[in-house]
Amino acid sequence: MSKLAVVFPGIGYTVDKPLLHYSRRLAADAGYEIKLLPYAGFPKKVKGDKGRMADSYRIALEQSKEMLSETDFSVYEEILFIGKSIGTIVAAQLASESPVSSRIRLVLYTPLKETFSFPFGEALVFTGSADPWVQGPDEIPQACREREIVCHVIPDANHSLETGDVQRDIRNMQGIMEKTGRFIREEAAGSRQQEKQVKILLEPLSPRFSVCKVPDYSGIDLMQPFCFTGTTDEEKSLVCPEALVPDHTSERNDGWKGFRIIGQLDFSLIGILARISEILASNGIGIFAVSTFNTDYIFTKEENSDKALAVLKAAGFLQCRLREE
């Protein structure tokens, strides 16, 4: 499988600096061909100067287009754009304008407000809560929420995602690269699943569900569909449609809606439930999951159910259909 990763540096943050150095090494380890765009010739004192910022963007965009002019993106099945600062704007524009835009995913380190003016696809964002290049700590997270993009905020970090505390910065860098690596590998994992022709659908379930604590399972018709039990050394739990909750339930939490992943999942396919959880968590939607031999069931509160399905469908990871009773 042919894969390409293109690295778009910042104005002073070159391709050899930590975020771009380690992320491109992760991409190379995942089998990506690496294309570096070492554009240069920017004006000085760009921060806070709109005119110089516009000139810098134009310089980076023109040089990027020139350096990529002989690259045939159509021959690559997977494409990754890794950008830093002003490079994230260039990456976003080129991704949105590409005839193969659906194949392009983006890793965006310290993006700027202008990055989100382009309709790019799936992305992973990292920003610092003390980044002086953006207007307040919520500017980038808010832009990500509006686009349903996963965003990680590094507390007290500046435009280089550094805090000034060396040990803390090392720990932060490790966490950033772990998340970046998972994002890069998920692309490959998704393609392997596609090669196996695993058809994955989300099927909403009609009943409202309840999560219960019970003293025992007497009086429960476990032959009814969608009754899940769990026994530990401390408790007995039951997940079932609200209409089937037994009278002797000691505690219950009602108002859950469920959906299941359709089709028998190969145990060698990893990351499906984790990916769903990550997408929903980034949109403020809590879940709990139940796994059976064949598949997984995901439950959200009823008020979040429609949003959860819409978010997953928009993410392009799963297709949805309604269950017919």
Judgement on whether residues 140 and 211 belong to the same structural domain of the protein: no
d(C-alpha 94, C-alpha 87), whole Å? 11
With a CB cutoff of 8 Å and minimum separation 6, the contacts of 248 are 214, 215, 216, 218, 219
**Does residue 286 belong to any structural domain of this protein?**
yes
181, 315: one domain: no
* DSSP code, position 305: H
Taking the C-alpha atoms of residue 269 and residue 116, their distance in angstroms, rounded to an integer, is 33
Same domain, 185 and 46: yes
pLDDT over 70 at 190, yes or no = no
Residues 239 and 161 in one domain: no
Look at residue 310 in the predicted model and tell me its pLDDT.
81
Q: What does the pLDDT read at residue 188?
A: 46
Facing residues of 301 across strands?
256
In the listed set 180, 195, 210, which residue is the last one of a domain according to the structure? 195
Residue predicted with more confidence, 204 or 321: 204
Tell me whether residue 148 is in a domain: yes
Same domain membership, residue 96 and residue 29: yes
* Overall domain count for the chain: 2
* CATH number, residue 186: 3.40.50.1820
User: Would 106 be classed as within a structural domain?
Assistant: yes
**Cβ-proximal residues to 62 (8 Å cutoff; 6+ apart), any chain:** none
CATH number of the domain that residue 272 is part of: 3.30.2130.10
- Sole residue written with tokens 């686009």: 147
DSSP H/E element including 160 = none
- Residues 56 and 118 placed together within one structural domain of the fold: yes
Would the pLDDT of 264 be above 70?
no
Q: Which of 90, 70, 79 lies closest to 3, judged by CA?
A: 79
pLDDT, position 101: 86
CB 150 within 8 A of CB 180: no
What was the pLDDT predicted at 271?
60
Specify whether 185 is located in the same domain as 210.
no
The Cα–Cα gap between 242 and 244 comes to: 5
pLDDT averaged over every residue in the chain: 87
Mean pLDDT for 297-316 is 84
Per-residue pLDDT tens over the stretch 100-133:
888 899 999 999 999 999 888 899 999 999 999 9
Separation CA 5–CA 2 (nearest Å): 10
Is residue 130 situated within a structural domain? yes
Per-residue pLDDT at 274 exceeds 50: yes
Are 216 and 166 in the same domain? no
Position 142 in a domain: yes
293's CB contacts (< 8 A; 6+ apart) are none
Residues 131 and 26 reside in one and the same domain:
yes
Instruction: Dig out the tokens for 157 from the structure.
Output: 């970090």
**Is residue 110 located within the same domain as residue 173?**
yes
| Residue after which a domain boundary falls, among 136, 171, 195 | 195
189 lies in the same domain as 206: no
Residues 159 and 251 in one domain: no
Domain boundary pick from 166, 195, 224: 195
Domain-embedded: residue 325: no
Identity of the residue numbered 27:
A
**270 vs 298, which has greater pLDDT?**
298
CB-CB contact of 156 with 131 (8 Å) = no
Phi, psi of 8 (to 5 degrees): -110, 105
The residue segments making up the domain with residue 221 are 201-320
Query: pLDDT-based confidence at 195, cuts 50/70/90?
Result: very low
What average pLDDT does this structure show over 161-189? 90
From 225-239, 256-270, 284-298, the region with the lowest mean pLDDT? 256-270
